[in-house]
Amino acid sequence: EVQLLASGGDLVQPGGSLRLSCAASGFIFSSYAMNWVRQAPGKGLEWVSTIGNTGASTYYADSVKGRFTISRDNSKNTVFLQMTSLRDEDTAVYYCAKSITTINWRDYFDYWGQGTLVTVSS
Amino acid sequence: EIVLTQSPATLSLSPGERATLSCRASQSVSSYLAWYQQKSGQAPRLLIYDASNRATGIPARFSGSGSGTDFTLTISSLEPEDFAVYFCQQRTNWPITFGQGTRLEIK
């Protein structure tokens, strides 16, 4: 059974930093791209970032480029999202999600974690 | 950036009725479109990918159609558990984008 367990969400002040983690199990983690998608309170879904299966390729939404860094540790089946220079508008539930294929980095998401809440506020 | 526009914003129907949800892309996405269902407090669930392929475990009452810029998600006969928010998503170009959602509510 595929499981994705996201953690690390917290209350942080504007300008602060936070690191999210997502521990995966139930599939060959090193074969799939992984993703972060966020959802502001009461709003829709926003793709944040994608990392290829080896970690060599990364992609970001313009809204987070230069502030967020995605990475992965295939030996620990974990993907990370390092967030810096946080803004009020980064407040959201952050979901990690698995890509559906082993071929495409730009893909659909067939399994999602439960989400972790990041609140940016003074 | 490809903008996906979903309509209607809210759809009010009764169990047993047929639901038709629309997603229109600002430029062609070929058939690279997916649909997700999200219930309150839960993560999204993939329903349909590549416009018309049902994801694993999705009931046959869910179907998708369309190509290019116009897509439809149809629920043939609504069950009580189908009342939720539905999002479309494209994977043609970076950035990956989602529609703003259609809320399907009980009439």
Say whether A44 and B98 touch across the interface (CB within 8 A). Answer: yes
Residues 6+ apart with CB under 8 A from B41: none
B61-91 pLDDT, tens digit each: 999 999 999 999 999 999 999 999 999 999 9
Judge whether A24 and A30 are in contact, CB under 8 Å.
no
The rounded percent of chain B whose pLDDT value lies above 70 is 100
Count contacts between A and B (CB, < 8 Å). 54
Please say if the pLDDT value at position B12 is more than 90: yes
Judge whether A14 and A84 are in contact, CB under 8 Å.
no
> Rounded to a whole number, what is the distance in Å from the CA of A108 to chain B's nearest CA?
7
**Integer angstrom CA distances of residue A33 from A64, B18, B29:** 19, 36, 21
> Rounded to a whole number, what is the distance in Å from the CA of A44 to chain B's nearest CA?
5
SS3 B94: coil
Q: Which chain A residues are within 8 Å of B92, Cβ to Cβ? A: 106
Peptide linkage before B44 cis (omega within 30 of 0): no
> Rounded to a whole number, what is the distance in Å from the CA of B98 to chain A's nearest CA?
6
Predicted confidence band of residue B41 (pLDDT cuts 50, 70, 90)? very high
Q: Which chain A residues are within 8 Å of B49, Cβ to Cβ? A: 100, 108, 110
Of A46, A107, A112, nearest to B44 by CB-CB distance is A112
**Integer angstrom CA distances of residue A81 from A9, A20, A22, A50, B105:** 11, 5, 9, 10, 35
Task: Please give the pLDDT value at position A104.
Answer: 83
Give the total residue count for chain B: 107
**Tokens 């998708």 found at:** B64
A50-70 pLDDT, tens digit each: 999 999 999 999 999 999 999
Of A44, A61, A95, nearest to B87 by CB-CB distance is A44
Say whether A108 and B45 touch across the interface (CB within 8 A). Answer: no
The rounded percent of chain B whose pLDDT value lies above 90 is 100
Q: Which chain B residues are within 8 Å of A100, Cβ to Cβ? A: 46, 49
> Rounded to a whole number, what is the distance in Å from the CA of A39 to chain B's nearest CA?
10
